[in-house]
């Protein structure tokens, strides 16, 4: 049980080996904005983290907890004030000439990425990144078609203006533009922000599909406890620039009081099942989807 306690309350990783089995490793990184000025702010405070290739991890926390600052370190948009960022065991700040390569390997999709769509046609927009990589036209076309297929946009969308698409389709087109670069790691910052329920469902379904089909390492930054619980097997909780909890959805959401104290909550369906469990102990807790809850209730009603 000691290992579980350490996982839920991460400690700095000291004395790590030079070669690492982890695709992402943060070693005691801190980031201070406006250092040595009256506006100094410590946004990240001594964070250590390890993520294996192929993991799908949720990063949750209230606004200002440090989530956005943290993810911008992973593709070198920001450099830590102290500590090290390693991708596949290599410090990404040892050779500035390799930063372009790092940013191709670590795809970062910010909030509202559809605002960056600018070409006249969807196909051309998705092709923009691969074209900057010096690839052949054949390889660019292959990548674009593959990326659009993965996000669920078929040939009928290829020659449409991005602005003819629905909100969910625009966002999927924007994500396809990052996928066409063939990253090993995909970071999605609030990918469902501002979408209607249908658009949210489309995006969440495609994210799960991308993880299953491509085997990408995915980091999902979200305010939605429900999305984090349904989509991922591991959740990181940030508060005041620190990772204060790291565990499975069941482990993390069992700490409901702690989450409420930092301005978060547990998934709504989980709260409902906890209340029902208090009325009938035969009903399980630790359920994070409506489908699973309905199944558990039906099993109790019709054993």
What confidence tens digit (pLDDT) does each residue in 126-182 have?
999 999 988 999 999 999 999 999 999 999 999 999 999 998 999 999 999 999 999
Q: What is the 3-state secondary structure (H, E, C) of 70-86?
A: HHHCCCCCCCCCEEEEE
Give me the half-sphere count of Cα atoms (radius 13 Å) on the Cβ side of residue 26: 27
pLDDT for res 97: 54
Answer whether 262's CB lies under 8 Å from 245's CB: no
Alpha-carbon distance of 299 to 303, in angstroms, equals 5
In whole angstroms, how large is the CA radius of gyration of the chain? 21
Q: Which residues of the chain carry a pLDDT beneath 70?
A: 1-20, 96-97, 303
- Residue 42 φ/ψ, nearest 5 degrees: -90, 105
pLDDT of residue 13: 43
DSSP element (H, E) containing 57: strand 56-60
Res 14: pLDDT: 41
- Here the CATH number for the domain that contains residue 203 is 3.40.50.300
CA dist 64 to 34, 166, 221, 249, Å? 16, 30, 13, 22
Measured in degrees and rounded to the nearest 5, phi and psi for residue 286 equal 70, 30
CA separation for the pair 2, 261 (Å, rounded): 25
Whole-angstrom distance, CA of residue 37 vs CA of residue 30: 17
User: What pLDDT sits at residue 17?
Assistant: 41
pLDDT at 170: 93
- pLDDT value of position 11: 42
Domain hosting 141: range is 22-266
In a domain, 222, yes or no: yes
pLDDT at residue 96, as a whole number: 65
Question: For residue 48, which of 70, 64, 63 has the smallest C-alpha distance?
Answer: 70
How many domains does one find in the chain?
1
């Amino acid at each position: 049980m000691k290992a579980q306690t350490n996982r839920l309350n991460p400690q700095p990783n000291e004395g790590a080996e030079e070669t690492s089995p982890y695709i992402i490793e943060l070693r005691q990184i801190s980031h201070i904005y406006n250092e040595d000025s009256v506006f100094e702010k410590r946004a990240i405070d001594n964070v250590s983290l390890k993520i294996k290739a192929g993991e799908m991890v949720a990063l949750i926390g209230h606004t200002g907890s440090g989530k956005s600052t943290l993810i911008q370190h992973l593709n070198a948009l920001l450099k830590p004030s102290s500590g090290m960022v390693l991708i596949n065991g290599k410090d990404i700040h040892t050779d500035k000439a390799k930063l372009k390569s790092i940013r191709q390997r670590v795809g970062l999709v910010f909030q509202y990425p559809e605002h960056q769509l600018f070409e006249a046609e969807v196909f051309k927009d998705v092709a923009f990144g691969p074209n900057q990589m010096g690839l052949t036209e054949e390889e660019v076309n292959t990548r674009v078609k593959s990326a659009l297929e993965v996000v669920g946009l078929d040939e009928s969308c290829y020659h449409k203006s991005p602005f003819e698409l629905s909100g969910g389709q625009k966002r999927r087109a924007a994500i396809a533009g990052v996928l066409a670069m063939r990253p090993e790691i995909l970071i999605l910052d609030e990918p469902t922000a501002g979408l209607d329920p249908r658009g949210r469902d489309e995006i969440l379904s495609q994210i799960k599909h991308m993880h299953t089909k491509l085997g990408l390492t995915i980091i999902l930054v979200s305010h939605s406890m429900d999305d984090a619980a349904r989509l991922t097997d591991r959740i990181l909780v940030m508060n005041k620039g620190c990772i204060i909890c790291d565990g499975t959805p069941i482990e993390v959401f069992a700490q409901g009081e702690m989450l409420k104290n930092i301005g978060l909550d547990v998934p709504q369906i989980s709260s409902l099942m906890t209340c029902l469990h208090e009325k009938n102990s035969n009903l399980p807790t630790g359920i994070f989807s409506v489908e699973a809850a309905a199944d558990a209730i039906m099993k109790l009603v019709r054993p």
